[in-house]
Structure 1
Amino acid sequence: MHKTIARVSRRDYMKHTAAVVTAFTFVPSRLVFSYEANEKVNIAVIAVGGRGGANLNGVSGENIVALCDVDRRPLESAAKRFPSAHTYTDYRRLLDEEKTLDAVVVSTPDHMHAPICLRAMKQGLHCYCEKPLTRTVEEAHQMAKVAKEKNLSTHMGTPGRGSADTVRIVEIIRSGAIGDVTEVHYWTDRPIWPQGFDRPEGQDQVPSYLDWENWIGCAPLRPYKEKWPENHAVYQLPPRQLHSGWVYHPFVWRGWWDFGTGALGDIAPHMWHSAFWGVDLDAPESVDVVDVSGPVTEMFPSWSILRFNFPAKGNRPPVKLYWYDGGKTPPADLLGVKEVPTGGSLIVGTKGAIGVGHKSASDFPDVPQSLRRYGDMYSEWIGGIKNGNPDQPSCPFSYAGPLTEAYLLGNIALKLGRTIQWDAKARKITNVAEANQWLAPAYRAGWEG
Structure 2
Amino acid sequence: MARKRISRRTFVGNVGAGLAAFTIVPRHVLGRGIRAPSDTLNIACIGVGGRGREDVRGVSIENIYALCDVDDVSAADSYATYPKAKRYKDFREMLDKEAKRIDAVTVATPDHTHAAAAILAMKAGKHVYCEKPLARTIGEVRAMAEAAKKHKVVTQMGNQGHAAEGTRQIREWVEAGAIGTVREVHLWTNRPIWPQAVDRPLQEYYTPATLAWDLWLGPAPSRPYNPAYAPFKWRGWWDFGTGALGDMACHIMDAAFWTLNLGYPTRIEPESTQLFTETPPAGSRITYSFAARSGRPEVKVVWRDGSLYPPRPPEAPDDVRWPPDTSGQLWIGTDGKLLAGTYGDEPRLLDPAKQAEIVAHPPAPKYPRSPGVHKEWIAACKGEGQTNSSFAEYAGPLTEMVLLGDLAVRTGRVLELNPETGQVANATIPEEYIRPTYRSGWSV
TM-score, normalised by the number of residues in structure 2: 0.87
Aligned equivalent of 2:25: 14
AA partner of residue 154 (structure 2)? S
Of 334, 339, 347, the match for 2:331: 347
Q: Report the 3-state secondary structure (helix = DSSP H, G, I; strand = E; otherwise coil) of the residue aligned with 1:287.
A: strand
Query: How far does the alpha carbon of each residue in 1:211-234 deviate from its partner, in whole angstroms, 9 at most, with x for none?
Result: 1111111111111123xxxxxxxx
User: In 2, distance between residues paired with 1:135 and 1:363?
Assistant: 43
Aligned equivalent of 1:324: 304
Aligned equivalent of 1:188: 189
Please state if 1:275 is matched with 2:256.
yes
Aligned equivalent of 2:418: 423
User: In 2, distance between residues paired with 1:338 and 1:82?
Assistant: 43
Query: How far does the alpha carbon of each residue in 1:109-148 deviate from its partner, in whole angstroms, 9 at most, with x for none?
Result: 0110011101111211100111111111121222222223
User: In 1, distance between residues paired with 2:152 and 2:356?
Assistant: 38
User: In 2, distance between residues paired with 1:91 and 1:334?
Assistant: 53
Aligned equivalent of 2:5: none
Q: How far has the Cα of 1:424 moved from its partner?
A: 4.9
CA separation of 1:184/1:205 partners in 2, compared to 1, >3 Å: closer, same or farther?
same
Aligned equivalent of 1:248: 229
Structure 1: give runs of 5+ residues left out of the alignment.
Answer: 26-31, 227-246
Please state if 1:408 is matched with 2:418.
no
Q: How far has the Cα of 1:52 moved from its partner?
A: 1.1
Q: Report the 3-state secondary structure (helix = DSSP H, G, I; strand = E; otherwise coil) of the residue aligned with 1:306.
A: strand
User: In 2, distance between residues paired with 1:96 and 1:400?
Assistant: 27
Of 376, 386, 389, the match for 1:395: 389
User: In 2, distance between residues paired with 1:345 and 1:253?
Assistant: 26
Q: Report the 3-state secondary structure (helix = DSSP H, G, I; strand = E; otherwise coil) of the residue aligned with 1:429.
A: coil
CA separation of 1:313/1:426 partners in 2, compared to 1, >3 Å: closer, same or farther?
closer
User: In 2, distance between residues paired with 1:172 and 1:327?
Assistant: 28
AA partner of residue 176 (structure 1)? G
Q: Report the 3-state secondary structure (helix = DSSP H, G, I; strand = E; otherwise coil) of the residue aligned with 1:323.
A: strand
TM-score, normalised by the number of residues in structure 1: 0.86
Map 1:10-89; keep pairs closer than 5 Å. Answer: 11=23, 14-15=25-26, 17-18=27-28, 39-89=39-89
Aligned equivalent of 1:447: 442
Map 1:279-298; keep pairs closer than 5 Å. Answer: 279-289=260-270, 291-298=271-278
Q: How far has the Cα of 1:10 moved from its partner?
A: 5.4
Q: Is the 8 A contact 2:236 2:280 kept in 1?
A: yes
User: In 2, distance between residues paired with 1:415 and 1:180?
Assistant: 33
User: In 2, distance between residues paired with 1:78 and 1:252?
Assistant: 21
Please state if 1:358 is matched with 2:369.
no
User: In 2, distance between residues paired with 1:199 and 1:43?
Assistant: 37
Q: Report the 3-state secondary structure (helix = DSSP H, G, I; strand = E; otherwise coil) of the residue aligned with 2:239.
A: coil
AA partner of residue 410 (structure 2)? K
AA partner of residue 116 (structure 2)? P
AA partner of residue 343 (structure 1)? S
Q: Is the 8 A contact 1:429 1:435 kept in 2?
A: no
Aligned equivalent of 1:213: 214
Q: How many residues of Structure 1 are paired with residues of Structure 2 in the alignment?
A: 414
Query: How far does the alpha carbon of each residue in 1:239-290 deviate from its partner, in whole angstroms, 9 at most, with x for none?
Result: xxxxxxxx1111111111110111111111111122111111111122101x
Q: Report the 3-state secondary structure (helix = DSSP H, G, I; strand = E; otherwise coil) of the residue aligned with 2:157.
A: strand
Q: Is the 8 A contact 1:43 1:104 kept in 2?
A: yes
User: In 2, distance between residues paired with 1:202 and 1:309?
Assistant: 43
Q: Report the 3-state secondary structure (helix = DSSP H, G, I; strand = E; otherwise coil) of the residue aligned with 1:447.
A: coil
User: In 2, distance between residues paired with 1:400 and 1:272?
Assistant: 12
Q: Report the 3-state secondary structure (helix = DSSP H, G, I; strand = E; otherwise coil) of the residue aligned with 2:416.
A: strand
Q: Report the 3-state secondary structure (helix = DSSP H, G, I; strand = E; otherwise coil) of the residue aligned with 1:434.
A: coil
Q: Is the 8 A contact 1:174 1:279 kept in 2?
A: no
CA separation of 1:2/1:223 partners in 2, compared to 1, >3 Å: closer, same or farther?
closer
Aligned equivalent of 1:384: 380
Aligned equivalent of 1:243: none
Aligned equivalent of 1:265: 246
CA separation of 1:10/1:432 partners in 2, compared to 1, >3 Å: closer, same or farther?
closer
Q: Report the 3-state secondary structure (helix = DSSP H, G, I; strand = E; otherwise coil) of the residue aligned with 1:387.
A: coil
Aligned equivalent of 2:145: 144
Query: How far does the alpha carbon of each residue in 1:47-106 deviate from its partner, in whole angstroms, 9 at most, with x for none?
Result: 111111111111122122211111122445433333332211111111111121111111
Identity %: 40
Q: Report the 3-state secondary structure (helix = DSSP H, G, I; strand = E; otherwise coil) of the residue aligned with 2:247.
A: helix
User: In 2, distance between residues paired with 1:361 and 1:144?
Assistant: 40
Report the structure, 1 or 2, having the larger helix content. Answer: 1
AA partner of residue 331 (structure 1)? P
Structure 2: give runs of 5+ residues left out of the alignment.
Answer: 1-12, 341-348
Aligned equivalent of 1:315: 295
